[in-house]
Structure formats: C-alpha cells, structure tokens
Structure 1
Amino acid sequence: MALSKIDEAIQHAPTVIDSYEVAIHIHLKWMEVFLFMNKNLDGHEAGDLVAAASLADEARCMDLADRYINSESVKRMWLWQKKTAALFTKEGDQHNNLHDMQCMWYELASGESYTRQGYLGQALKKFLAVEKHYADITEDQFDFHSYCLRKMTLRAYVEMLKFQDRLHSHSYFHKAAAGAIRCYLQLYDSPLNSPAEEEDHTLKTHQKKKMKKQRKAERAKKEADEKNEESSASGTSKSGKRHVKPVDPDPYGERLLKTEDPLSEATKYLKLLLKNSPDSLETHLLSFEVNMRKQKILLAFQAVKQLLRLDAEYPDSHRCLIKFFHKVGSMPAPATDAEKLVWSVLEAERPSISQFQEKTLSEANEIFLCKHQDSLMHRVVVAEMLYILDPTKKLEAVKLIEDSSNIVELTNAALGPIMTWKLKDCIAVHQLLEKVLVDQDAALRWKVRCAEYFPYSTYFEGSRSSAVNNLFNNQEGKTPVNGDTSDPEISQSTIPIISN
C-alpha cells in the first residue's frame, strides 16, 4: 500500500526528489543489516536491494549537486554491491581522498560489503582505516591542551576531555572493531595455509580483475600520468621539493591475511569494546566466540554471564549458554592444578544460573522453548541446540523450525494483517537449514514459503522482486540475485568520476 501511494506521488510530481527518497526507504524500511558469525548477510525487510539502488540512482541524477542524495545513492549501491560514484572528491585516487576526509560511513559500508563477498583482506583494511581515524583523533587532542590553557577556554577544555573519555564508545568505532573481529574469526576458522589456497585467493582478489579489465587499467594509467605531469608544478613546496603521496604497499590487504595469530589481533579490538561498550550484547557475543576459540574457559563464562545479565531471554544468550556447558561437558577431566581450579569455579557458579536449577541441558532447552513457543528465532535456537546436543535428532529439529507459524501481530482496518516474521530472521533460518542442519529439501521448502511472505525479496526470489522482474536489464545485461555477481569488477569498490 505504501509503494502504491508513493508511486502516485511520483507520477503527480516526477521531479520532486523527496518522493524518490521516501520510495527508497519503503524498499529498505523493514530490514536491518544482519551480520552473524560466518554467515554474513545483508539487506532490508522488503528485500529488494536492486529496486532501492535504482531509485537512489534516479534521484541522484535529478540533482548532481546534492551531497546528501549522492551519499544515499552510494550507500544503496554498496548494499547491492554495485559500482558507486564519487561526485565530491578530487579526481585521481578517490579512495585516498575519502580516507583523508575521514569518511567513516563509506569505509564501514565498504568493509561490510567486502566481508559479505569473502574479501577479508580488503575488508580488514577498511575496518582498520576507521580505527586509525580514532587514533588520529586521540593524537590531535594534544594540540588542544595548550591552546585551551593559553586562551582560558576551560569549558571547552573540559568538554574535550569528556569527549576523549568516551571516544571509543562511538558507534562507528564499535562497528569497525566488531567487523575486524569477525574477519579475524573467519580467518582463524578458515586459514590460508597452503600455497595453493593463497594463490587462489590472490587470483580471486586482483588477477581476474586485471585479466578482464587490462585495457581499461592501461588507459586509466596513462590519464593519471598526464594529470601528474600537469600538476607537478603545483605540487611543489616553497623549498622546491615535490609532495609525493605515499604508496600503499598492501592495496589488497594480503599482509593482513598472513597474520600468524588472528585471535591475538581480534583480542586487541575486543578489549577496547569490553572497556568502552560493556552494555552491548554484540560485545559479549564476540567475547564468547573469541575466548571459546582461545580455550579461555573463565573468560568465555564471564561473557555468558554478561549476556544473561543484559538479556537472559535473548536467543543468542541461550545459544551461548547451552554451547558453553556442552563444550565444557565434552572436555576431558582436569589434570593440572590450574584446570582443577577452573572446574571448581564452574561447579560453584553453575547453581547460581537460574536456567540450570537441577536440570540437564536438554531440559533447560525444552523449558526455553515452552516460554517462547510463538517466537521464530527462539524456536530456531532451540532447534539448533537440540541438534548440537544430540545429532540424531536432526529431523526433530527441522520439524520444530517448520512448525513455526507467522502469526498476525496486529489487525487494522486500513493496513490489514501485520505478520511478525522479519526478513533477516528468515534468511538466518534458511542459512541454518542449508549449512548447519544440512537439509537441502527443508531449505528449499523454507525458501518457497518465505517467498510468499516477502514477495519483494531478491534473496527468496519473490514474485514481485527485481530477481523476477529484472528491473536492471539495461545494466550489464543481467540482474544479480542475493547481492551476488559473477563479474569481480562489479564487486570491487571502483569509483568512476561522474561529472555534471
């Protein structure tokens, strides 16, 4: 209904950019970015990223001097993993220009896009670039100390000190640190050990691009050389020395991928999150994942306790709780004094957990299900834990998921029934059925079912999505589905200059 109304508005006044912006948000409104360990997905509740990107680009072309519309278009293109345009950067190396301007929202969107595509080296470069911005902000404060004392601007000085105290609690830093930790976890779970794997990864990142776009690269190089020769006179200082821009020795992040201990690198950023974002569920979820891989039992248990403190009924809190004690139960008996001390702490703390009042893990899992019968994600977590605790109950776990019902949350005479399921949750369920429970038939049945609930979703190939309607037939001759593309050039963060 919302789409039909905004279409009427666009037909009535096709040159009003605000109408296109509303249409963009309708296509993107109902879904938030879904990033889950080793299952990185992205999209919005309507699920039609292609249509949203098309509308954003159409609105951008209406007013090429509007920075806000250009930024919105870039964001939507990143979600669709499409080429983006930079209208307000200097000609030449746009990536360095954006880095010098500390355009962190762009670097975060770029890093998340690279992560979804599996380019972990380039994703790490973007996330660590954001981290470097905050390090630069911390260093820049020292110029402000003497200035404030000299000018006696004590109120501004106190505000600056407070700002520095909470600097790393900013949402951009949290996203960058969390993204870097996830990349390091993926790198730890799937290391590039063999020379063949490293060669394949290198081929994936830049060799294919060079093979397909060699002529284009040579032409761009010639143009860049000509511009450098023209600007050589203006690039000299008063002393006659030329300002030479530093060359990035690792443009594809290959050195970052060759780190010997990814978990130690992840721990550095995890400590900052624990210090500056202690009330975030995501912080303690990452802490649990890192410390379980490092075999730091007490630190992982501390993360579980923090999750229970923040929200004991949260699905991931229950998942971490069951996985932790299932892992501890499968470990061999303690042999050293240190191990015995750890086990004594766990035995003393377990009775204090309300979920385990003289109950087994399976009983606690069933009680959790009884409390949240009508919630899709709670049922999914219970099914996943049922399979982990007893792999022979795979069919029972699948049935538990498929028996979930998309109940009506609210009935309104004007709006009609409103369902409770969200697209990001349904995508997560599909990934679980396909990759964890490894039941392709169940995954297909789930996809067909969700295509009816989300007809605009390109992931489920809904009947009204761009995957079916092929809205972008005039670009590259085919429409990427689920954000995937067969052309590596499309997936790269190429930023062609578009002039007025």
Structure 2
Amino acid sequence: MWYELASGESYFRQGDLGHALKKFLAVEKHYADITEDQFDFHSYCLRKMTLRVYVEMLKFQDRLHSHTYFRKAAARTIRCYIKLYDSPSKSAAEEDDEMSRLLPSQKKKMKQKQRKAEARAKKEAEVKNEESTVSGATKSGKRHVKPVDPDPHGEKLLQVEDPLLEATKYLRLLQKHSPDFLETHLLAFEIHMRRQKILLALQAVKQLLWLDAENPDSHRCLMRFFHRVGSMPAPLTDTEKLIWGVLEAEQPTFSQLHEKTLIEANTFFLETHKDSLMHRAAGAEMLFVLEPNKKVEAIKLIEDSSNNLVSTNEALGPVREWKLKDCIAVHKLLWTILDDCDAALRWKVRCAEYFPYSRYFEGSRCSAIPNSVYNQICKNPENGGANHPDVGQSAESLSSNGKLEAFKDLII
C-alpha cells in the first residue's frame, strides 16, 4: 500500500487526477477486502467457541479504518475531488470551441495525434484480450484468464456529477475513525465552505482550534471563515436568520477574536509567531485576503523571514530551521494566491541556495541541472583539482570501461 500511496501522490503532483484516484482508491479497496474477509470468521468463531479471538477480531475491525495508510489514502482522495471541483475537466463543447480557434494546420496535427492515440489504445486492448484468451491451460484443464482493467487511466473516475459529494463519503470515514487529526477537519472545512454549509464549516473551525489553536492552517481557516461571514448578505429567510443568530452567538466565544477585528487578530498572530516561516506566510496570506491593497506588505512579511541555525546534536551540528516542504508551500503561495512572479522567482533563487539538491528549486547540485554533479566534483578542492596526480590515475583506470567524456552531458 505504501507504493500505491507514493505513486498516487506523484500523479497528484503532476496533475494526473485519474491515475492518482486509481491508486488511492486501490488502497481503500484493500481495506474493503479485509472487511469482507472477516465475514467467514464470524460463523467459525461461534461454531468453535473461540470467543476471545472473536472479540479481538471485532476490536480490530472497529479500528481498521483508523490505520495510517487508510487515513492517508482517504485524505488524498478528498484532495483529488476538491481539485477536480475547482478545476473541472473540459466539456465537449469547450473542446470544440478551442479546436475552432486553431489554424487549419494545427487542427490537422491535433486530429492526427488523436487518431494515433485511439489506434494505440485499441491495439493495446486487443493485445490484452489475446493474452487473456490464449493464456496457458492449467493441469486441471482450466484456463487462467487475466482480468482486464476497463479504465486503466482512471478517466471514468473523473466523470462524476458532484465531486464534493464523493469527497464527503470519505470525509465521514475520517471524521468517524480519525477525529483527532488536524487534516480531517481541514478537509471538512474546505468541503463545507465550497458547499455553502456555514454551520458545518464553523464546526470544523472549532475542532481545529481545539486540536491546535496556534497552527497556521487553523489560523487561516478562522480568518477565512469570519471574513466570509462578514461578506454574506443580510438574512432574508427564517433559516438564514437562524444561521445568522448562531454565528453571532458563537463569534464572541473565540478567544482569538475577543474584542478584536479580524485585522487586529491577524496582526497579533504575526507578532506572536514572528520567528516562524509558516506562521508568517499564513499571516501574510490573510493580510492580503483581508486587505488586498497591502499585497506588497504581505510579500515583504515573507521575504523578511530569516532562516536561522538551530542546534540538533553533536554529530550533525547546527542546521537550518526551514524545511523543504515549507519552502515549496511558500513558493506556491507567492506564485498563485499572491500572484507575484518576481517575488516567486526571488524566493526560488533564495531557496536554491539552502537546498542545493532540490529539483523543485533547481539547486546547483540537483540532478535536473546538466553537469551539476560533474562540475561540482571538478571544482571541489577536497576531491582533487585538475592537476592533482590522483585525478589522472583515476581517469586512466576508468578509460578501459569507456570514454568518460560521453557521460559529461548525462542527465538522470
């Protein structure tokens, strides 16, 4: 299951939601199979009177869906459906409109590619069918038929009428079996805000603050929620008035907003966590959401962050405080939400120095840069210079295996 999770996350990063959903749902199917396999065990235990084992099996079944792999698969599945809702696949009419805007030569090339892809897919399906029918017979005379995947690319999984409804099914499992994890309520907040379920979103915010009030994501959800509430129109129906009354009664119960406006609460949050990169990024994002005219100040809050050295142990010595995944998240924030390409580029250059092996930031030693490792070895005096006597000997010893010059431009 770990491989399916890693593969699904890779597809998700590439934007291939079909393959990602197939991998994540495959993990969910494993747990469904485990549940079905226990059905035969019920009658067996009662027949053999092994009640102690039977009770242990029931307890195992109760906590089966709280396993780490299932929680990760369900959370990633929900994120796939949220992304599918935010960026739905193009309809046939939209594709026809795009085709009509192309030049005749471009249309011809596009149609040729489509025909080749269809022919290739048809040929692969025929080969699979032949392999399944012409498979060797077993000793008992029965043929072993290989199952054929009718949806190898996960295209049918993307053809759902309501992605948020599908996401809600897995959210309920997380809320039931993993209520103590922050990600469960973060996903609940994202789904309910998109479905206009204000009270359910309020419930998710309260759970987030109860679990970790100082978490940057909890602060984001709190600010976003009440900013959204503040922009809602006046209630007209009885239901809307009832919801509005609940919101007015609940808002004073939040200590973060006690006698403070949203802007003041965000400023206090920034002052409290001024030494944390992710807290500064969350505060900067909310500053831009609350006051869009302060975009420059929000970017400056992020760029003024300092990557201090922290001591770990005597073996490693002091290391930098920032983590790679946090820096990637900040870069995406600058690129998408704050929408400043120059600031994103400056951040990328800065992080490339801190993470020289990072492919995302294209560091000086990453494998995505041609000759980076080769040049680093040649320039590093610890490995010997060009005139070092050992260099000539090592080159001569390896010349029998082929010319080294042929591998200088090799990209892995």
Give the TM bin, normalised by the shorter chain.
0.7 to 0.9
Q: 2:293 aligns with which of 380, 386, 392?
A: 392
CA contact (8 A) 2:24 2:77 kept: yes
User: Residue 269 of structure 1 corresponds to which residue in structure 2?
Assistant: 170
Amino acid at match of 1:133: H
**Is the contact made by 1:423 and 1:454 (CA closer than 8 Å) also made in structure 2?**
yes
CA distance in 2, matches of 1:309, 1:295: 23
Call closer, same or farther: CA 1:253–1:373 in 2, change over 3 Å.
same
The counterpart of 1:134, out of the listed 14, 22, 31, is: 31
Deviation at 1:142, TM superposition (A): 1.3
Tell me the matched-pair count: 366
Q: Aligned in 2, Cα 1:416/1:169: closer, same or farther, shift over 3 Å?
A: closer
The answer as to whether partners of 2:359 and 2:368 remain within 8 angstroms in 1 is yes
Letter in 2 for 1:408: L
Looking at structure 1, the residues matched to 84 and 139 of structure 2 have their Cα atoms a distance apart, in angstroms, of: 44
Looking at secondary structure, tell me which structure has more helix per residue: 2
How far does the alpha carbon of each residue in 1:256-296 deviate from its partner, in whole angstroms, 9 at most, with x for none?
A: 21111111111011001000000000000000000000000
CA distance in 1 between counterparts of 2:86 and 2:121 reads 37
Counterparts of 2:263 and 2:406 in 1: how far apart (Å)? 54
Question: Is the contact between residue 128 and residue 148 of structure 2 (CA under 8 Å) also seen in structure 1?
Answer: no
Match of 2:384 in 1: none
State the partner residue of 2:21.
Answer: 124
Q: Which runs of 5+ in 1 are unaligned?
A: 1-103, 201-206, 481-500
8 Å contact 1:192–1:198 — kept in the other structure?
Answer: no
Matched, 1:464 2:369: no
The answer on whether the counterparts of 1:263 and 1:290 sit within 8 Å (CA) in structure 2 is: yes
Query: Is the counterpart of residue 195 in structure 1 residue 92 in structure 2?
Result: yes
- Whether 2:324 is the aligned partner of 1:423: answer yes
Residue-by-residue CA offset, 1:237-259 (whole Å, 9 max, x unaligned): 4xxxx454443322222222111
Instruction: Output the CA distance in 1 between the equivalents of 2:153 and 2:194.
Output: 27
Structure 2 partner of 1:376: 277
Aligned to 1:255: 156
The residue aligned with 2:251 is: 350
Aligned pairs for 1:91-102 within 5 A: none
Aligned to 1:437: 338
Cα-Cα RMSD = 3.0
| Bigger Rg, structure 1 or 2 | 2
The residue number in structure 2 matching 1:87 is none
Corresponding position of 1:491: none
What is the CA–CA distance in structure 1 between the aligned matches of 2:77 and 2:345, rounded to whole Å?
A: 33
Q: Distance in 2 between matches of 1:161 and 1:211?
A: 53
Distance (Å, rounded) in 2 between the aligned partners of 1:216 and 1:301: 48
Q: 2:58 aligns with which of 131, 151, 161?
A: 161
> Does residue 306 in structure 1 map to residue 207 in structure 2?
yes
Q: Which runs of structure 2 are paired with 1:187-336 in the superposition (5 Å)?
A: 187-195=84-92, 211=116, 225=130, 229=134, 231-233=136-138, 236-237=141-142, 242-336=143-237
SS at match of 1:466: coil
- Aligned AA for 1:195? A
Per the normalisation by structure 1, the TM-score is 0.67
Indicate conservation of the 8 Å contact 1:235/1:243, yes or no.
no
Instruction: Indicate the residue corresponding to 1:179 in structure 2.
Output: 76
The yes-or-no answer on 1:108 pairing with 2:8 is no
Change (3 A) 1:278 1:261: same
Whole-Å Cα distance in 2 between the matches of residues 474 and 178 of structure 1? 46
Report the AA paired with residue 239 of structure 2: A
Check the 8 A contact 2:136/2:144 in 1, yes or no.
no
Deviation at 1:216, TM superposition (A): 12
Tell me, what secondary structure is at the counterpart of 1:127? helix
What's 1:365 paired with?
Answer: 266
| CA deviation after TM superposition for structure 1 residue 110, in Å | 2.0
CA distance in 2, matches of 1:208, 1:148: 59
CA gap of 1:431–1:149, structure 2 versus 1, over 3 A, is: same
Quote the Cα distance in structure 2 between the aligned partners of 1:144 and 1:411: 50
Aligned match of 2:402: none
Change (3 A) 1:253 1:415: closer
Supply the AA of the counterpart residue of 1:287: A
User: SS of the residue aligned with 1:461?
Assistant: coil
Amino acid at match of 2:224: K
Separation in 2 of the partners of 1:129 and 1:219?
22
Q: Quick one: which of 342, 352, 372 aligns to 1:451?
A: 352
